[in-house]
């Protein structure tokens, strides 16, 4: 009888722990709201660009467009976190055979998601770095130096994450001597 109670308690505890993954769902819904804020911000910035298109210089246009690209890349990052994270950590989305299912979603796992996020951060950092270099006359040498250091930190981190993912999910095959 005691063994049966222990088994039931263990099962109940395991079920409770497994159900706790749903506590993350509101976090993903919050990120959807944040993405709505980015859409609003994008539209405002696009409107400013259109309003000023005849009175601004080419470099100002480039800086504004890079700002728009930055917002899009952050929105892409949000989608990866929302969709990939929900699928990986909360529940399946059951999108099989849906014509709009992202190609990467079919083979997403925590390792791949980390590498994709790191790569997205490199893209976002690249846009910030490009904006800084386009506007170099208005930047301090210290600001440019630290942005390059931070960008290279993202690059090295992404390479290390990809390498760890490769070792973890695709271990090297043992050689057999002929």
What is the pLDDT at residue 34? 95
pLDDT, position 91:
83
**What is the average pLDDT score of the chain?**
85
Alpha helices in 99-177 (DSSP H): 110-134, 141-169
Entry field: residues in the chain: 178
Average pLDDT over residues 63-69: 91
pTM: 0.71
Residue 1 burial by Cβ neighbours in a 10 Å radius (0-12, 13-18, 19+): exposed
Sign, Cα dihedral of 28, 83, 85, 44: negative
d(CA 91, CA 80): 15
Region of residue 97 (phi > 0: left; psi between -120 and 50: alpha; otherwise: beta): left
Q: What is the pLDDT of residues 123-158, one digit of tens each?
A: 889 988 988 888 888 889 999 999 999 999 999 998
């Amino acid at each position: 009888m005691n063994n049966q109670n222990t088994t039931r308690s263990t099962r109940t505890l395991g079920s409770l722990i497994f159900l706790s993954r749903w506590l993350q769902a509101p976090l993903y819904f919050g990120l959807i709201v944040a993405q709505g804020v980015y859409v609003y911000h994008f539209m405002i910035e696009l409107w400013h660009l259109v309003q000023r298109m005849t009175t601004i210089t080419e470099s100002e246009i480039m800086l504004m467009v890079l700002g728009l690209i930055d917002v899009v890349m952050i929105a892409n990052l949000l989608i990866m976190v929302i969709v990939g994270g929900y699928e990986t950590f909360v529940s399946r989305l059951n999108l099989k055979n849906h014509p709009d299912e992202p190609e990467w979603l079919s083979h997403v796992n925590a390792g791949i998601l980390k590498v994709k996020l790191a790569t997205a951060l490199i893209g976002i950092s690249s846009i910030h770095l490009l904006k800084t270099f386009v506007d170099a006359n208005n930047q301090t040498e210290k600001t440019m130096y630290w942005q390059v250091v931070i960008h290279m930190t993202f690059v090295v981190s992404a390479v290390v994450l990809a390498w760890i993912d490769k070792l973890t999910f695709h271990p090297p095959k043992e050689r057999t001597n002929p």
